[in-house]
């Protein structure tokens, strides 16, 4: 099974994948109770072995998460979360570090729990492949969730005849993309939710998201895009839809582009 097929198969999500925070919290609480209570009641001397208890807690939390069918990367988070917390506490960092770290994470990743789309960036190879896909004449291109805006800056520099629009909801990547776009006269970066932005006047919509929003993106693209307009999805296929082109990108991640013409599909 190739990487593109694997990612396509992730299209159907179980409840723990759709709403990951409540089961994650439950798994952590289970680990805490299952380790903390016996230690407190029967082995109080163990309470001094914080790292050992944290490792046990992490293991049990991961088992509980597995039982709740959480995706594999959550198991790693459960195993590492409490031990890391204990290790970092041992460093006796000043108290302001914690809220600052949380604020930074929030500013970079925003509501990943809701969007189900974390920040990871397209490679240069992907930007080059997208450039080759653009129509020959002047066109409008949108990056749905543009992150740091690298792809759009690259395209805007190569295609001065065309217009490029990026939409990003996470504050820090948006600010970065916006500041870096100041030098490009044909690139605009908006802060906001791309679901609220019409795709009607785009010739190319580029998306590097995750399996979770693909069915909704497909419905939006079919309803809004013109018949000859192109939806290019980096890595994630639309479940149940045949792409008009599948392109292997020449990069280390062995990226695939899935290219669709949603506006030409009868709905």
Ligand X SMILES: C[S@@+](CC[C@H](N)C(=O)[O-])C[C@H]1O[C@@H](n2cnc3c(N)ncnc32)[C@H](O)[C@@H]1O
User: Is 110 an interacting residue with respect to ligand X (CB under 6 A)?
Assistant: yes
Task: Find where tokens 């013409």 sit.
Answer: 261
Task: Verify binding: residue 147, ligand X, rule CB under 6 A.
Answer: yes
Contact 52, 83 (CB under 8 A): no
Cβ proximity of 188 and 166 under 8 Å: yes
As measured in angstroms, the least distance from the Cβ of 110 to ligand X is: 5
Options 87, 89, 93, 193; binder of ligand X; rule CB under 6 A: 193
Decide: is 20 part of the binding site for ligand X (CB under 6 A).
Answer: no
Note whether 60 and 35 are within 8 A (CB).
Answer: yes
φ, ψ for residue 139 (rounded to 5)?
-150, 170
Residue closer to ligand X by CB (options 38, 171) is 171
**Residue 208 within binding range of ligand X, rule CB under 6 A:** yes
Q: Can you say whether residue 8 is alpha, beta or left, with left for phi > 0 and alpha for psi between -120 and 50 degrees? A: alpha
CB of 195 to ligand X, least distance (A): 5
Which residue's C-beta sits nearest to ligand X?
145
Total of residues contacting ligand X (CB under 6 A):
23
Q: Is 249 in the site for ligand X (CB under 6 A)?
A: no
- Our CB check for ligand X shows the closer of 98 and 195 to be 195
HSE toward the beta carbon, residue 197, CA cutoff 13 A: 19
211 touches ligand X (CB under 6 A): no
- Report how far apart, in Å, the C-alpha atoms of 72 and of each of 62, 65, 75 are: 9, 9, 5
For ligand X, the binding residue among 53, 77, 117, 231 (CB under 6 A) is 117
Count CB atoms within 10 A of the CB of residue 6: 9
Q: How far apart are CA 138 and CA 153, in angstroms?
A: 16
- 209 or 229: whose CB is closer to ligand X? 209
Determine which residue in the list 121, 131, 175, 247 makes contact with ligand X, applying CB under 6 A: 121
Strand positions, DSSP E, 87-129:
none
31 close to 67: Cβ distance less than 8 angstroms: no
Tell me how far, at minimum, the Cβ of 168 lies from ligand X, in Å. Answer: 5
CB of 189 to ligand X, least distance (A): 11
Q: Which residues bind ligand X (CB under 6 A)?
A: 110, 115, 117, 119-122, 143, 145-147, 150-151, 167-170, 173, 193-195, 208-209
């Amino acid at each position: 099974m190739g990487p593109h097929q694997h990612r396509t198969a992730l299209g159907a999500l179980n409840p723990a994948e759709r709403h990951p925070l409540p089961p994650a919290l439950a798994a952590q609480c289970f680990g805490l109770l299952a380790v903390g209570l016996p230690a407190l009641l029967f082995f109080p001397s163990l309470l001094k072995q914080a790292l050992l208890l944290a490792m046990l807690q992490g293991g049990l939390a991961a088992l509980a998460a597995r039982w709740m069918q959480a995706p594999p990367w959550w198991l790693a988070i459960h195993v590492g979360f409490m031990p890391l917390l204990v290790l970092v506490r041992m460093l006796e960092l000043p108290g302001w570090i914690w809220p600052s770290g949380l604020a930074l994470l929030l500013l970079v990743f925003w509501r990943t729990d809701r969007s189900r789309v974390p920040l990871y960036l397209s490679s240069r190879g992907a930007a080059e492949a997208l450039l080759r896909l653009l129509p020959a004449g002047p066109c409008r291109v949108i990056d749905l969730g543009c992150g740091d805006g690298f792809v759009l800056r690259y395209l805007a520099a190569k295609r001065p005849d065309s217009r490029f629009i990026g939409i990003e909801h996470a504050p820090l990547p948006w600010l970065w993309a916006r500041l870096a776009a100041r030098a490009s006269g044909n690139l605009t970066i908006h802060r906001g939710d791309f679901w609220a932005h019409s795709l009607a006047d785009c010739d190319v919509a580029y998306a590097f998201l995750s399996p979770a929003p693909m069915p909704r993106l497909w419905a939006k693209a079919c309803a809004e895009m013109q018949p000859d307009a192109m939806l290019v999805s980096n890595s994630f296929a639309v479940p149940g839809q045949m792409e008009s082109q599948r392109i292997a990108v020449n990069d280390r991640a062995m990226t695939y582009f899935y290219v669709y013409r949603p506006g030409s599909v009868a709905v």
